[in-house]
Structure 1
Amino acid sequence: MSAAVETPPVIPAKDKVETPFQRFVSEFAESKLALFGLVVFTIIAVVAILAPFISPQNPYDLAVLDIMDGRLEPGSKSGDGETTFYLGTDDQGRDMLSGIMYGLRISLTVGAGSAFIACMVGASLGLLAAYAGGKTDSAIMRVVDLQLSFPSILVALMILAFLGKSITNVVIAIVVVEWAYYARTVRGTALVERRREYIEAAECLALPKRRILFGHLLPNCLPPLIVIGTMQVARAIALEATLSFLGLGVPITEPSLGLLIANGYEYMLSGKYWISFYPGIALLVTIVSINLVGDQLRDVLNPRLKK
Structure 2
Amino acid sequence: MSAAAEPVTPEPVAPRVETPLRRFISQFMESRIAVGALVVFTIIVLLAVFAPWITPQNPYDLFQLDIMDGRMEPGTVGGAGFTYWLGTDDQGRDMLSGIIYGLRISLIVGAGSAFIAGIIGASLGMLAAYAGGKTDTVIMRLVDLQLSFPTILAALMILAFLGKGISNVVIALVIVEWAYYARTVRGSALVERRREYVEAAQCLALPTWRIIFVHLLPNCLPPLIVIGTIQVARAIALEATLSFLGLGVPITEPSLGLLIANGYEYMLSGKYWISFYPGIALLITIVSINLVGDHLRDVLNPRLQK
Deviation sequence 1:171-216 (CA, Å, 0-9, x none): 1111111100000000000000001111111111111111111011
What residue is the counterpart of 1:179 in the other structure?
Answer: 178
- Deviation, structure 1 residue 89: 0.5
- Look up the equivalent residue of 2:39 and give its one-letter code: V
Q: Distance in 2 between matches of 1:180 and 1:268?
A: 38
CA contact (8 A) 1:115 1:229 kept: yes
Deviation sequence 1:147-170 (CA, Å, 0-9, x none): 111110010011111111111111
Residue 227 in structure 1 maps to residue 239 in structure 2 = no
Q: Secondary structure at the match of 1:15?
A: coil
Give 1:67-216 correspondences, 5 Å limit.
Answer: 67-68=67-68, 70-75=69-74, 76-80=76-80, 82-216=81-215
Q: Distance in 2 between matches of 1:255 and 1:79?
A: 22
- Deviation, structure 1 residue 60: 2.4
Q: Which runs of 5+ in 1 are unaligned?
A: none
Q: Distance in 2 between matches of 1:250 and 1:3?
A: 87
What residue is the counterpart of 2:283 in the other structure?
Answer: 284
- Deviation, structure 1 residue 217: 0.5
Show structure 1 runs of 4+ deviating over 3 A.
1-14
Q: Distance in 2 between matches of 1:209 and 1:302?
A: 27
Residue 249 in structure 1 maps to residue 253 in structure 2 = no
Q: Distance in 1 between matches of 2:153 and 2:100?
A: 29
Deviation sequence 1:264-290 (CA, Å, 0-9, x none): 001011110000000000000000110
TM-score normalised to structure 2 length: 0.96
Q: Distance in 2 between matches of 1:300 and 1:32?
A: 14
Residue 38 in structure 1 maps to residue 38 in structure 2 = yes
What residue is the counterpart of 2:59 in the other structure?
Answer: 59
Q: Distance in 2 between matches of 1:41 and 1:2?
A: 67
- Look up the equivalent residue of 1:274 and give its one-letter code: W
Q: Secondary structure at the match of 2:30?
A: coil
Q: Distance in 2 between matches of 1:122 and 1:105?
A: 25
Superposition RMSD in Å = 1.5
Q: Distance in 1 between matches of 2:162 and 2:5?
A: 90
- Look up the equivalent residue of 1:281 and give its one-letter code: I
Q: Distance in 2 between matches of 1:277 and 1:25?
A: 36
- Look up the equivalent residue of 1:134 and give its one-letter code: G
- Deviation, structure 1 residue 15: 2.7
CA contact (8 A) 1:66 1:78 kept: no
Q: Distance in 2 between matches of 1:47 and 1:166?
A: 23
CA contact (8 A) 1:165 1:251 kept: yes
CA contact (8 A) 1:245 1:262 kept: yes
Q: Secondary structure at the match of 2:83?
A: coil
TM-score normalised to structure 1 length: 0.96
Residue 27 in structure 1 maps to residue 27 in structure 2 = yes
- Look up the equivalent residue of 2:167 and give its one-letter code: T
- Look up the equivalent residue of 1:245 and give its one-letter code: F
What residue is the counterpart of 1:50 in the other structure?
Answer: 50
- Deviation, structure 1 residue 16: 1.0
Q: Distance in 2 between matches of 1:182 and 1:63?
A: 43
Give 1:260-275 correspondences, 5 Å limit.
Answer: 260-275=259-274
Deviation sequence 1:101-142 (CA, Å, 0-9, x none): 110110100000000000000000000000000010011111
Q: Distance in 2 between matches of 1:2 and 1:96?
A: 83
Range 1-10 or range 103-112, more displaced: 1-10
Distance change in 2, residues 1:5/1:46 (3 Å): closer
- Deviation, structure 1 residue 146: 1.2
- Deviation, structure 1 residue 19: 1.2
